[in-house]
Structure 1
Amino acid sequence: MSVRSTLATPLAASAYTMSSGRLGAIVAALLGLAGVAVGGLALARLAGRVTFGPGPGGAVVALAAGCAAMAIGGLVVATSDGGLGTGNGLGGAVVALVVGLAATALGGLVLARSRRTG
């Protein structure tokens, strides 16, 4: 391999390039955030602080969204070629894993409390 071919190969994607890893990480993070929002609303409704929004059925939505976010984020982490900052979506995928875990935990908490009080 010559020096010229090494210099011609970009080390990272540009800031404006939308790679499949970045797109997957964005979708996973948004899915996880939706799960956290629905789980938070369901928990607030269960505690009697909010009179609108999803009830214990929102717990299932939060669990499903959290699990999907963690699955997509894990897939992006497993298939990422480079490290953080290379444009492969690795940083966003790690964020999606954490947010998906939070959504799953909120959904589980709502389910546990709804079974205990109901």
Structure 2
Amino acid sequence: MYGNTSFGDGSTGRELNAEQRKVLRQNLSQVAQRTRELLPGEFVVGSELTEGADGTRATVAVQPPIGAAVSADYVPDDGVSIDDTERNDIAAGLAASAALQVKQAIREDTSPTAK
């Protein structure tokens, strides 16, 4: 599962030039779009590319209608492009994790109908 998971080798990211940020932002948008396709409309999916002291970090997050939000971070190391297989894996993992959050939240909110 990819809920609240970081991808990459765990090292700090690096500064990206404008073209690299553009490529990574497009890849991130594709992950978010694929995640939206896998989930009902009640789930809110967003992505963000941030620059910090530790370099560039890409994040895709899903807020289910109930339950905790889940996210996946990607820290570019050698290349900035996220390949098709990895984009699909990240999207499927996020969708599964978000659905699990709903299932767990429903289980916690319901009481048995019979004793």
- Answer yes or no: same fold by TM over 0.5: no
Q: Highest CA radius of gyration, 1 or 2?
A: 1
Q: TM-score, normalization: structure 1?
A: 0.31
TM-score, normalization: structure 2? 0.31
Greater helix content: 1
Structure in which a larger fraction of residues adopt strand: 2
